[in-house]
Each structure stands twice: as C-alpha cells, then as structure tokens.
C-alpha cells in the first residue's frame, strides 16, 4: 500500500505564526500555490530518511526521502539529489534533527549510503 499512487505536488515550508519553532510543510496541486491539498505538521516529525530509491513497475525515483510522524510516513521525491538534500537539510533544521550516515558493510552486497536523521 505504500507508494499506492504518486501525484505531483508543490511544497512550501511555513512557520505557524503562533508558536515559536513550529513549522508546517504545506503541499499544493499547482505550482502557483493556490489549491492546498494538505499539511504536514513538522512538530510531529520523528525521523527523516534520505537517499531512498524506488523501482516499481514503470515508476522509478532516485531522489526519495521520507518524513516519519507517529501517524504516517510521507514519501517525497525531488528532481535532483541537490534539491532533495536542500529540502532534507531545511526540514531537519526546523525540526531540530541531527543527521547520521549508514553504510552497508556486507561485502557481498552493493554499498549504498543513506542519510537518516533522528
């Protein structure tokens, strides 16, 4: 059920305006930011995983990251690795998360790096 359907959305990071340090990631169905489709409360963010990869049927994404909350895991895809890293860094900064890198140490498997933040 994860990756059930992918839709193009445009995102904006906003301060709540009410409480210091409270941010929301709002997403829209159009690039003019007129039709808001939803909000991710970053105050609920527990973890972010970056550098994920999806290869499912005819869908391929190389610059995936996720935002984990107690209620849901949001999967987002960027067009470039640089764009993905910029989003992850900004979200981590407002959430107060620290980054670490995992490397697969099994010599029989392809080594891949993924960045997680807790």
Selected from 1.10.3660.10, 3.40.50.2300, 2.30.29.30, 2.160.20.10, the CATH number assigned to the domain covering 10-103 reads: 2.30.29.30
- Output the pLDDT for position 98: 83
Distance CA(32)–CA(85), nearest Å, equals: 23
Measured between alpha carbons, how far is 83 from 91 in angstroms, rounded to an integer?
12
Which are the contacts of 50, defined by CB distance < 8 A and separation ≥ 6? 64, 65, 84, 85, 88, 114, 115, 116, 117
The domain limits of the chain are 10-103
Q: What is the pLDDT along the chain (118 residues), one digit of tens a residue?
A: 444 577 888 999 999 877 777 899 999 998 898 999 999 999 999 999 998 877 766 667 788 999 999 999 999 999 899 999 999 999 999 998 887 766 543 433 333 334 444 4
How many other C-beta atoms can be found within 10 angstroms of the C-beta atom of residue 69? 15
* Closest to 54 (Cα-Cα) out of 46, 45, 65, 68: 65
């Amino acid at each position: 059920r994860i990756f059930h359907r992918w839709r193009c959305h445009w995102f904006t990071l906003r301060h709540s305006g009410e409480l210091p340090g409270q941010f929301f990631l709002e997403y829209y169905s159009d690039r003019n930011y007129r039709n808001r489709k939803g909000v991710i409360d970053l105050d609920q963010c527990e973890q972010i995983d970056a550098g994920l990869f999806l290869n499912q049927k005819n869908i391929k994404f190389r610059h995936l990251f996720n935002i984990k909350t107690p209620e849901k895991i949001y999967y987002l895809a960027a067009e470039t690795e640089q764009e993905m890293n910029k989003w992850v860094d900004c979200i981590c900064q407002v959430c107060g998360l620290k980054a670490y890198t995992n490397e697969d140490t099994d010599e029989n498997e392809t080594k891949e790096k993924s960045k997680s933040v807790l």
